[in-house]
Amino acid sequence: MMTREGTIPAALGTVVTAAGVAMRAIDMKKKNGTRKSEIMPMVGAGIIGFGLAHVILGGIDLWEQKF
């Protein structure tokens, strides 16, 4: 089965971004404010950024193959 280059990073990025958003949603439901010493909100934001980077880079690969 042939897959286009960039499909796997884009799909992986989508899954990782969804996991980061779910992590942040749980944190937001749990409490209204966060202290600077809490690491979980920062980890969730980092996971979202990592996932979005994969989506963007995978999308660029998919776009380049089109032309």
C-alpha distances in angstroms, 61 versus 5, 8, 41, 65?
6, 10, 31, 6
pLDDT value at residue 1:
65
Q: What is the pLDDT along the chain (67 residues), one digit of tens a residue?
A: 677 888 989 999 999 999 988 888 877 766 666 665 677 778 888 999 999 999 999 999 989 877 6
What pTM did the predictor assign?
0.75
Domain ranges of the chain: 7-29+37-66
Cα 10 to Cα 53: distance, rounded to the nearest angstrom: 9
